[in-house]
Amino acid sequence: MRAYELREDPLLGCRVCPLPVRGELADLVPRSHHVAWPTWLDRGPRMLRDVLDLCRLRTARGLALLSWLATADEPPGDLEWFWASRRLTGPRQERMYAAAAAVPEPVLGLVLANWTWALASCHGGRVTAPYLAGTAYPRDGYQAADATMTLYQTYDRHPEARPAIAAAWAAARVGADWCKAADLHAAYGTQTPVFTYPRGAPPAGVGVRPWMERLFRLR
């Protein structure tokens, strides 16, 4: 069952307006932000690999959760595979990717809008890093600040990492904004579209990895 409505806007095009979300499903969203982003800066390749792996996990997790929000489906009873922080591989990766593949096209479009905007903006690093770090460590300001600097400097110094960091932010942001719009609908009984930044052209070249092409249906 579709858990959203579409509304045509003469200026902004098709807007996605969520219906109210069940509490137990909405409760999954804050926890989905909890990712162990590095809180130190290491110029070596290992930390960059760790950040990229965590971006892939955060993106796939965010899209899987969006598929449940958008269809009002019951999540699988055992979510240990969903919350595990280890690297995505094997059957667990395919299970996460399969859940992400169920995201309806209009909802995926919200994620793509945020992703392309971040990559086109000169403020991409300043927007993505504090959001990812702050939501991952909501009760520890020191860790959040350290993770912010790690993510920001990675974004700034490694152009090949920017699409991955932006993808993780885009998926995380849409899930949170979906719940905000759904809460407004429940409170006032009117359609409330999910906020997104203006969509840009898909990036070409460095940094767009095969997992992004698969999850974002770029091919």
pLDDT above 90 (res 172): yes
Kindly state the average pLDDT of the residues 187-213: 90
Residue spans of beta strands (DSSP E) within the chain: 4-9, 13-18
As for how many domains the chain has, the answer is 1
Percentage, residues of the chain above pLDDT 70: 100
Collapsed DSSP state (helix, strand, coil) of residue 198: coil
pLDDT digits (tens, 9 = 90+) for 47-94: 999 999 999 999 999 999 999 999 977 777 789 999 998 899 999 999
Q: What is the pTM of this model?
A: 0.95
| Packing angle of the helix pair 124-136, 162-188 (nearest 10 deg) | 70
pLDDT above 80 (res 173): yes
CA distances (Å), 144 to each of 23, 120, 137, 138, 169, in order? 27, 25, 5, 7, 15
Q: What pLDDT, on the 0 to 100 scale, is given for residue 154?
A: 95
Find residue 52's DSSP bridge partners.
none
Average per-residue pLDDT in the chain?
Answer: 93
Structure tokens of 211? 């997992």
Identify whether the C-beta of residue 33 lies closer than 8 Å to the C-beta of residue 50: no
* Spatial distance between the Cα atoms of 170 and 149, rounded to a whole number of angstroms: 19
Q: Of the ranges 19-28, 144-153, 157-166, 195-204, which one carries the lowest mean pLDDT score?
A: 195-204
Q: Which residue has the higher pLDDT, 150 or 207?
A: 150
Structure tokens of 76? 């699988």
- Domain holding 13, by residue range, is 4-215
| Packing angle of the helix pair 124-136, 141-157 (nearest 10 deg) | 150
Residue 17, number of CB atoms within 10 A of its CB? 17
